[in-house]
């Protein structure tokens, strides 16, 4: 048995094509969605990630502006940039790229973002709306990676209603909000959130119809843990040194899981592109509202 590939690249491309159509209709009404990015410092990974966001915007026809501050920027400089993005009429959603330089209070800066312009969906107000939103339509921005996971499962017809879901990792960007999203009425999964202090973690994973690895430990999830036919999504990523001495990125899921699982979202090429697509969707949704 070889798992069906949950192809995040192809699915994200389809979503961006759909968003491009929505952007055309919005522009016909005089509304232009706009993404803003605030990047502080010289982290190469952050620069690459932000550049990818602006390429996504160009593909979809979204206006984008980029604010880059030096590594030496002060907290006051970052606050001023956030105020500018909050008030910018041509920005319907924006992100503050993390990590911020040492000495700048990340939570303080994130809380300064206008919740309605929170393209990442991780502002405390929007996470609170997700907590309260057990049923009905959610009009607030959703956390991008959890939303991308649910969208990917949905588009491949993976059953979620009543499914046992094991989420490995309790981080704020994936594990915690994903559990909230998948237990909402209409999705109706039964979620077990696992972490470093969980007892019988392996047994909990073996029961699961859907397994999400989101802890950032290379090849942590073993094939013997997986129920035959389960859906497995590899989200966490780790930089390791290959046999040739060069660094490479690997996921949380052992590649041999493909021989057991019914569906497998690889890493890279699975959830990552979906995260970027959902961020663009949040910007378009905000413009629509």
Which residues are known to be catalytic? 53, 97, 120
Gap between the Cα atoms of 273 and 149, Å rounded? 10
Peptide bond into 268 cis (omega under 30): yes
């Amino acid at each position: 048995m070889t798992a069906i590939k949950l192809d995040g690249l192809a699915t994200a491309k389809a979503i961006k094509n759909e968003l491009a159509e929505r952007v055309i209709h919005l522009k016909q009404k005089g509304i232009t969605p706009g993404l803003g990015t605030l990047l502080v410092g010289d982290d190469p990974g952050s620069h690459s990630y932000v550049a990818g966001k602006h390429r996504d915007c160009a593909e979809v026809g979204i206006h984008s502006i980029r604010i880059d501050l030096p590594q030496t920027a002060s907290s006051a400089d970052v606050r001023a940039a956030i105020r500018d993005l909050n008030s910018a009429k041509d920005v319907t959603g924006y992100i503050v790229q993390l990590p911020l330089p040492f000495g700048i209070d990340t939570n303080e800066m994130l809380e300064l973002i206008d919740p309605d312009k929170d393209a990442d969906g991780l502002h405390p107000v929007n996470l609170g709306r997700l907590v309260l939103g057990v049923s009905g339509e959610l009009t607030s921005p959703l956390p991008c990676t959890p939303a991308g996971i649910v969208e990917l499962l949905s588009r491949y017809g993976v059953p979620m209603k009543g499914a046992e879901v094991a989420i490995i990792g309790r981080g704020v960007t994936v594990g915690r909000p994903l559990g909230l999203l998948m237990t909402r009425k209409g999705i109706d999964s039964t979620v077990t959130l696992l972490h470093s202090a969980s007892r019988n973690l392996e047994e909990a994973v073996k029961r699961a119809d859907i397994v999400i690895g989101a802890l950032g430990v290379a090849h942590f999830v073993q094939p013997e843990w997986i129920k035959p036919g389960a859906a497995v999504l590899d989200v966490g990523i780790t930089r390791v040194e290959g046999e040739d001495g060069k660094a490479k990125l690997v996921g949380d899921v052992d590649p041999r899981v493909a021989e057991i699982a019914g569906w497998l979202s690889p890493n890279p090429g699975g959830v990552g592109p979906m995260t970027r697509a959902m961020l663009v969707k949040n910007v378009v949704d905000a413009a629509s509202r």
